[in-house]
Homo-oligomer: A and B are copies of this chain.
Amino acid sequence: MSQGPTRIEMNEVAPRDGLQIEKRQVPTDEKIAFIDALSACGFKRIEVTSFTSAKAIPALADAEAVMQRITRRPGTIYTCLVPNLRGLERALSSRADELNLVMSVSETHNRANLRMTRDQSTAQLLAMLAEASKAGVACTVSLSCTFGCPFEGDVDPAEVLRLARTFADAGAAGITLCDTTGMAFPTQVAAICDEVSRALPHVAITAHLHNTRGMALANALAAWQVGVMRFDAAAGGLGGCPYAPGASGNVNTEELVHMFETMGVDTGVTLTPLLDVVAGLPQLVERPLSNQLLSAGPRLRTHPAPAWLADHFGAA
């Protein structure tokens, strides 16, 4: 079996990608405590918020306050999603360390999700990359529906590469390949990640996976095997498609960290405080969340042998 990098970087996206679709509007103070607790886990990156319109995403209307009041841990990069030039200005004013720009590889999904054609989005992202470059702030471009579109089905990998190259040429420091609705499968993930990273060796590739069809960890393994060393993930698997709660979210950060840890890969993240954060999520989002890893514990959490064994077999 091919082995991947001995060290990876985890990008925790729950504060933005998770909280934006929760019914509960998490109060600013609780959000800040959540992000600070995540910082203490050792993440390389945390996607804190999105500088979007308060009307579009009321849950993230407090973007400035959150960015101002979180405690920045040295070593963690605090990123923000920015949908347009106005958002970019706000994020720069709030001293975002890095910016995340988004568009879709699929024309239909881009229109449905962003209300723009792909050409319009491309032009807008190029303008944003130019502005960010002037400010000296690194940008990652997230390409939604890289592995399939819920409207169009399969997407052409050549389109993924074309868009990735366009933004890399325009100065994007990273490209995030997003499995927006959980359509990716391992051999495809390996092939596309490999192709993009070979074509654009100076660009950092991030895998953004969803567990919609149970394949998130298998896809992460495949990405790692071809050398991907950055992963988006959400604590508790928050986020994703709201129509099937608990089933369609982002890959669980804790499961991803746990898997890599079992394989001896350094994630930078400490699992124990992360599981504490995960245990607090039902209170944060005010809905029940079942969590396999939290129930079972890390793989080496052992249990006492049944007491009757000693009676039956004598002392061991």
Q: Chain A interface (Cβ within 8 Å of chain B)?
A: 1-3, 108, 111-112, 115, 117, 148-154, 182-183, 185-188, 190-191, 194, 211-218, 220-222, 225-226, 244, 246-248, 252, 255, 258-259, 262-264, 290, 292-293, 295-296, 298-300, 302-306, 309, 312-313, 316
Which of the residues B112, B152, B298 comes within 8 Å of A309, measured between beta carbons? B112
Which of B2, B221, B296, B303 is A213 in contact with, Cβ under 8 Å?
Answer: B296
A112 with B186, Cβ < 8 A, contacts A213-B255, A213-B258 known: no
Residues A248 and B292 in contact, CB atoms below 8 Å apart: yes
Supposing A1-B190, A185-B259, A212-B292 touch, asked if A151 and B217 sit within 8 A by C-beta, the answer is: no
A175 to B218, CA, bound (A): 24
Whether the Cβ atoms of B313 and A117 lie closer than 8 Å is yes
Q: In whole Å, how far is A178's beta carbon from the nearest beta carbon of chain B?
A: 15
Q: Provide the bound-state CA to CA distance between A300 and B211, in Å.
A: 15
Q: Which residues of B contact A258 (CB under 8 A)?
A: 213-214
A214 near B293: Cβ-Cβ < 8 Å: yes
The smallest beta-carbon distance between A207 and chain B, in angstroms, is 13
Q: Determine whether the beta carbon of A1 is less than 8 Å from that of B153.
A: no
Shortest distance in angstroms between A23's beta carbon and chain B's nearest beta carbon?
19
Q: How far is the CB of A64 from chain B (nearest CB, A)?
A: 31
Rounded to whole angstroms, the CA-CA distance of A222 and B305 in the bound complex is 31
For A188, list chain B residues within 8 Å (CB).
262-263
Residues of B within 8 A of A111 (CB): 305, 309, 312-313
A212-B296 in contact (CB<8A): yes
Residues A3 and B187 in contact, CB atoms below 8 Å apart:
yes
Which B-chain residue is minimally distant from A115 (CB atoms)?
Answer: B312
Beta-carbon nearest neighbor of A260 in chain B: B185
From B2, B214, B263, contact of A252 by CB (8 A): B214
| Least Cβ–Cβ distance between A249 and chain B, in angstroms | 10
Q: B154 touching A300 by the CB < 8 A rule?
A: yes
Contact (Cβ within 8 A) B259 A302? no
**In the assembled complex, how far is the CB of residue A144 from the closest CB belonging to chain B, in whole angstroms?**
15
